[in-house]
Structure 1
Amino acid sequence: MLNVGNTSGVQVRKQQQNARVTLSMYQEPPNVEVTLEEFESYSIDRLQMLKTLELVRLRGRDDAKVEKAMAKFLPLRTAEDREKDEISHFILRMAFCHSEELRRWFLTQESSLFKHRLDQASRDEKMNFMKKNRLVYDQVDTEEFAELKQQLTAVHLANKTSVKEALNMPDVYVKVPFTEAIDLIGQRKVFLKCGVAYVPFDHLVTILFARFRSTLSKQLAIAFRKFNGSAAARDDRLLPVLKNLAKHHIGPDYGTVPQASGNAITPEMIDGLAATAMPLCMKTLHNAMKTQSHLKHGGRMQYGLFLKGIGLQMDDAITFWRNVFCKKMNVDEFNKKYAYNIRHNYGKEGKRKDYTPFNCVKIITGDPPKAGEYHGCPFRHFDEHHLRASLRGINEIDKESIITLARNKDYQLACRRHFEALFPKGNIDAVGNHPNAFFEEARKAIGVKPDPVKQEPVKQEQVKQEPVKTEVKTES
């Protein structure tokens, strides 16, 4: 019997000599010195790679684009390249460990990068990676394979759509505890017996991907707890770089209210904008508010900050909400219960924090709406019947495409597809991460250019090259 991932002796040495080191669990940070310029350039290159992966995920699979970005930003041709890969991962881990939203984004993109590399790796590279990380699974021997051949063949044939694929029976199976193969079991891609999943070697990609994701998730939580006690948190040279990296991971935050101009948003315009330019999540909130003359707290926050981001000034916001709510209450009640919160969102009350509109990730992963609530993402929180009714006015082909994406939990892709159906000539590449981006691009598509929201580009500052140790062991 062979332990897959735990071969030894001459065979292991031969594999280690021939296999490129393209996969890593990033368990231990490298103990090396880099200049401040390298620290910043390495991290920016990796951030550009991760943003490329995010864009490809939103547009649809494009391996050629990913490979081109890999060659430019994160090649793995030499030992120096691999060292850069390790260093840049831990730099971004420090930058993105400070909030749930940042951790989630980093985890998603790093997992995509690992999955791409895993798909490109040879069997020897995967075996070498498994051995290095002590991922040991027993291979099904000849005798056991003969006993289970009928069942394994039946599972194999059930998952193939062509005769050519059906004839290509896997030659290596491994035994994996069923708790590590939940996704494969759910998709009925493996045979299950006595708590053991019999996994074709090629399907180990799913197992390794799940292990990488769960490990990195735990490491990010540890990094968050320990960062404040680390050397990086006390280094005035590194802290601005780390903050700048996290600041630019998803584009503009739409936190700055555009100043009044010829395109300024007024309360009288909002009904028309809801009908023509708002994403479905905000249109749903607007319609509910108009129908019921009220929104609960979650809806007021999501919609109110969105309106702030598209340019509704504070005084106009108070007027807008008062006009709607006062159909069911008097002005004194409105001022007592709601006016303060509006001023608070604009940074004029309390701690005077200038709140930013919710992005798509925050809306999708936030608390789901309860009875009488309308916040959240329709593509995630609506049932299929309700979602279908909300997509009226769109042809059936586009509607089915959107619903299929939502059913497959590709909520941001569903929103992008919705935008494409509404505005065929619009810039779909700018849509999918933020409701306010949807609004801006919709306005451009219908011939109205919104006021720009300024954002500083990610750039490398000219700094003196001084060596700095990447002392981040507290994160591992």
Structure 2
Amino acid sequence: MFYIHHPKCRAPLHIVEDCVFTRLRYLKLLYEDKTDDFDGKFEYLFENSIHDNVGHFTLRLIASTSLELRRFWLIRERKLLRHRLDHLLPRQIHRLFRKILRDAKTYEYGSSLYIKNALIIFSTSFLQPQVFAHIAEKEHDNACKLYSCKIYFQSVPDLIRERKIDLNNGYAIVSCSMWKIVLESLFNTMIEHEYKYLNIDMKNIIEMDPRLNLIHKKVRAQLLEEENFRGTITATNIDIESKKFPLCMQHLHRVLRDRHRLSHYARFYYSLFLKECGMELESAIHYWRNEYSKPHSCSSGCTHDWQTSEKKFVYSIRHFYGLEGGRKNYRAPKCEMIQRVIPGPRYEGGCPFKNFEPTALAHLLNDCSITDDIKDQLIKLGKNHPEKACGLFCKNVNNTDKEFIICSPVQYYSNTINLSNQR
């Protein structure tokens, strides 16, 4: 379950592939809290089984080919670990601690001594009979600090960064109520350290093996779903690309160009949309710098400017890209989320079809290449069926016979890019 050492076994290629994609399906459903929908081979997910190990370590190898894949996979793998920890029986927890202790003693990966020692100290401490009996109690308090141990602070950098753990003379204090959180953090640190230690182009190595390369391509297609189409949005071509955006993002783009400012949530949603549609970090910084360096005419309450708040803006953009703060993999909002937030004086976003007044929606549609009949249909359809209205808008703007029901702005842009590529 903790995957310190890779398995020593042989498995046919079709079994390896089956293990990988069974695990991928389960990780996806777990991340979306829909595990009840899983109908795959549960035997490939039994903790400590050969199939479970093969699935994990193959994905671990493939995820090393890019930072993007690594983050995407590791977030879900961490959630799987926590999910399992929450459902373990006391005897299974005891067995897990003993296995971690045994495997940690032979763990060698570059300058990994601090991780090795942290795992040994952690396991040894919580295997003490009185301590283990205490944490195994059903009524164990989530804030209990009766027992604790000290590990090197370098072994839990994410908890230090988020101030979730106490520090004392260079040591992180692990209270008995935090054992699951700390174990999850140690798991993350171990894998991140492994990737840093390798520090080689794993993508080229995988591409040299046709078997792994085939699995790698399939995994990338599934892991990054909507991001497969990733376009070439830059600070210089965004005005042209914005014509391919859904109406909600076209609206935010126009507001930003006109006022040179957006309210917090509008900027947040628009930034995540651009990120998932292919805008690179440096291009994003250039784009927002260009707008926020200009005088504003904003009524949303945002009066910041780039000249006096550059560090804050750069940090914020890097945070959206998962490079600062909790390094969370923020995703662009789905239509459902956008529709829930009502536009007002402090927020200029929202779904034009669902949230805008008919006159405001008509004004937006006037700038689009659609007939008056279609415009009237969109206004009537929008309030009760905004996804269908957006699909009809996509169909007519792109002059296609294909039918769409839009669920997210990224999906809309993906459809438009695919239609453009087919012409």
Contact persistence 2:63–2:69 (CA under 8 A) = yes
Question: Cα 1:176–1:223, aligned 2, differ >3 Å: closer, same or farther?
Answer: closer
- Tell which structure's C-alpha radius of gyration is larger: 1
Q: Distance in 2 between matches of 1:179 and 1:223?
A: 19
Q: Does 1:133 align with 2:104?
A: yes
Question: Cα 1:242–1:454, aligned 2, differ >3 Å: closer, same or farther?
Answer: farther
Aligned residue for 2:2? 24
Q: Does 1:243 align with 2:187?
A: no
Question: Which structure is richer in relative contact order (CA contacts within 8 A, separation 6 or more)?
Answer: 1
Deviations 1:293-332 (A, max 9, x none): xxxxxxxxx99xx8xxxxxxxxxxxxxxxxxxxxxxxxxx
1:47-126 to 2 correspondences below 5 Å: 47-54=24-31, 56=32, 62=33, 65-66=34-35, 69=38, 72-73=41-42, 76-77=45-46, 82-121=49-88, 122=90, 123-126=93-96
Displacement of 1:283 after TM fit?
4.6
Q: Distance in 2 between matches of 1:444 and 1:36?
A: 43
Contact persistence 2:3–2:53 (CA under 8 A) = no
Q: Does 1:415 align with 2:389?
A: no
Q: Does 1:359 align with 2:343?
A: no
Q: Does 1:218 align with 2:217?
A: no
Contact persistence 1:96–1:102 (CA under 8 A) = yes
Q: Distance in 2 between matches of 1:89 and 1:387?
A: 48
Displacement of 1:49 after TM fit?
1.9
1:149-168 to 2 correspondences below 5 Å: none
Structure 1 unaligned segments of length 5 or more: list them: 1-22, 57-61, 146-163, 258-266, 293-301, 307-356, 376-383, 389-406, 427-440, 457-476
Contact persistence 2:353–2:390 (CA under 8 A) = no
Q: Does 1:204 align with 2:204?
A: no
Amino acid at match of 1:277: L
Deviations 1:426-459 (A, max 9, x none): 9xxxxxxxxxxxxxx9653546263564999xxx
Structure 2 unaligned segments of length 5 or more: list them: 106-118, 132-138, 232-238, 261-269, 293-299, 305-324, 342-349, 355-384, 396-403, 405-414, 419-423
Count of residues in Structure 1 that have an aligned counterpart in Structure 2: 287
SS at match of 1:252: helix
Contact persistence 1:284–1:374 (CA under 8 A) = no
Question: Cα 1:268–1:35, aligned 2, differ >3 Å: closer, same or farther?
Answer: closer
Among 227, 244, 252, the alignment partner of 2:226 is: 252
Question: Cα 1:253–1:97, aligned 2, differ >3 Å: closer, same or farther?
Answer: same
Q: Distance in 2 between matches of 1:90 and 1:367?
A: 34
Question: Cα 1:104–1:290, aligned 2, differ >3 Å: closer, same or farther?
Answer: same
Among 190, 202, 218, the alignment partner of 1:227 is: 202
Displacement of 1:98 after TM fit?
2.1
Aligned residue for 1:372? 289
Displacement of 1:200 after TM fit?
1.9
Question: Cα 1:218–1:419, aligned 2, differ >3 Å: closer, same or farther?
Answer: farther
Q: Distance in 1 between matches of 2:241 and 2:281?
A: 30
Amino acid at match of 1:106: W
Q: Distance in 2 between matches of 1:84 and 1:170?
A: 38
Displacement of 1:410 after TM fit?
6.7
Aligned residue for 1:176? 151
Over the matched positions of the two proteins, sequence identity in percent amounts to 19
Displacement of 1:84 after TM fit?
0.9
Contact persistence 2:82–2:184 (CA under 8 A) = yes
Q: Distance in 2 between matches of 1:93 and 1:270?
A: 36
SS at match of 2:52: helix
Q: Does 1:37 align with 2:14?
A: yes
Q: Distance in 2 between matches of 1:112 and 1:168?
A: 21
Question: Cα 1:372–1:89, aligned 2, differ >3 Å: closer, same or farther?
Answer: same
Q: Distance in 1 between matches of 2:301 and 2:99?
A: 46
Amino acid at match of 1:369: I
TM-score between the two structures when normalised by the length of structure 2: 0.51
Question: Cα 1:186–1:110, aligned 2, differ >3 Å: closer, same or farther?
Answer: closer
Among 246, 253, 278, the alignment partner of 2:248 is: 278
Question: Cα 1:415–1:455, aligned 2, differ >3 Å: closer, same or farther?
Answer: closer
Q: Distance in 2 between matches of 1:229 and 1:186?
A: 33
Question: Cα 1:242–1:387, aligned 2, differ >3 Å: closer, same or farther?
Answer: farther
SS at match of 2:289: coil
Aligned residue for 1:289? 257
Deviations 1:16-43 (A, max 9, x none): xxxxxxx223433x23222222122111
SS at match of 2:5: coil
Displacement of 1:87 after TM fit?
0.9
Question: Cα 1:414–1:234, aligned 2, differ >3 Å: closer, same or farther?
Answer: closer
TM-score between the two structures when normalised by the length of structure 1: 0.47
Deviations 1:120-146 (A, max 9, x none): 334414422441325122759x9xx9x
Q: Does 1:450 align with 2:394?
A: yes
